[in-house]
Amino acid sequence: MLAAIAAAAVVVTGGGGWLLMRHYTNNITRKNVFANLSGRPDRLAGKAETVLLVGSDSRAGAVNGQFQGSGADFVGGARSDTAILAHLSADRSRALLVSIPRDSYVAIPACPDATGVVHPPVHDKFNAAFAEGGGGCSVATVEALTGVRVDHYVEVDFAGFQSMVSALGGVDVCLPSAAVDVMSGLNLPAGVSHVDGEQALAFVRARYALGDGSDLGRIQRQQQFIAAVLRKATSTGLLLRPARLLAFLDAATKSVTTDRGLSVVDLRELATGLKGLDPAKVTFVTVPLADADHPVDGVGSTVLWDDAQAGALWAAMRTDGVVPGAGAPGPAPAAGAPPGTSTAAQDPCARR
């Protein structure tokens, strides 16, 4: 969605931008995810904003249903397969995207589900919050853990992801060796591949046939993919092709669910503010961990945050500050940056 907003800046500032923005805003599905939340953190000073981006693994609908499986492999319900807390600085000169591992062992506050039943507080994996109480519970959990107020919420499912990447015309990804992953459907050779639709989704979902098979390795690939989408969505090649640009924006806005408060005015202001955002100033970080394999009875293998390093991230968000060690210009993160720090300007495929 960040890529879509950045690309929308070209449309908004051109002729008929207001009418087009209203059209795209009307495409969006909305949920009242902030209802019934209490004791929330204070709003950030100035115009800084924080958005919770959630990738749902819901199998509802015709396209999503193909991933449902059957028998012992049946997967029902929905979980937050991907969660990113994105912070946009007040002057819109930089963005910080922090990936939250789904297996993080955290305190989940009491949350109501879609039927109104309130689930008691519990310690569990982070993605259990979405499974029990949907986006509202994910927001409540993030705010309780970080002390950062979530201004907006954006959710995309499998079908929506495929639509956005296809409308963009696909992106290049690269692998050190050939990979075939039966679980995700990934089937790519070594080196650089141009992926679209199903293979793009398989690349960001693949886990068992790549790297160490962990969710942490998958997070790195997801960050690389988002960076590739952002680079392409803001590239001259796309911006000078109005038909493709408009198709991408149409697909993107039809593919997401947001909070009810994200209005056409909000989107217009965001798009205008992000115009010209330098990919080198879009920083990706995974929440620093103290233990990447922490077994918990009845829960399974989890990961534990490094409270000190994670606390520095949340403090930077709360104060609209720069993440320690990650504020230097250029594509490479500075020394002292949190582990796993990268920027959207870095293209691992360009070095192959």
Looking up residue 264, the CATH number of its domain turns out to be 3.30.420.590
Q: Residue holding tokens 């396209």?
A: 63
In a domain, 189, yes or no: no
Q: Which domain holds residue 15?
A: 2-161+244-351
Query: Dihedrals φ, ψ of 99, to 5°?
Result: -80, 130
Residue 234 lies in a domain: no
* Alpha-carbon distances, residue 58 vs 29, 50, 131, 160, 303 (angstroms): 15, 24, 10, 11, 23
Full pLDDT tens readout for the chain, 352 residues: 556 555 555 454 454 566 677 777 888 899 999 988 889 999 988 889 999 999 876 434 444 344 434 343 333 444 467 899 999 999 888 889 999 999 999 999 999 887 888 889 999 999 999 998 999 999 999 999 999 999 999 898 888 888 888 888 888 998 888 888 888 888 999 999 999 888 898 888 887 777 666 788 888 888 888 888 888 877 766 666 777 777 877 888 888 888 998 877 777 677 666 667 788 888 999 999 999 999 999 999 999 999 999 999 999 999 998 876 554 433 344 444 455 678 888 888 876 5
Whether residue 323 lies inside any domain: the answer is yes
Q: Please state, as a whole number, how many other Cβ atoms lie within 10 Å of the Cβ of residue 6.
A: 23
**Distance separating alpha carbons of residues 97 and 284, to the nearest angstrom:** 5
| Count of other CB atoms within 10 angstroms of residue 45 | 10
Q: Is residue 148 part of a domain?
A: yes
Which residues fall within 8 angstroms of residue 254, CB to CB, at 6 or more apart?
27, 28, 160, 163
- Domain for residue 105, yes or no? yes
Q: Are 96 and 315 in contact (CB under 8 A)?
A: no
Q: Based on the structure, what is the number of domains in the chain?
A: 1
pTM, 2 dp: 0.85
Residue 166 forms part of a structural domain:
no
Residue 57's contacts (CB-CB under 8 Å, 6 or more residues apart) are 67, 75, 78, 79, 80, 81, 157, 158
If DSSP codes are grouped into helix, strand and coil, which group holds residue 107? strand
Residue 185 resides in a domain: no
Residue 177, in any domain of the structure: no
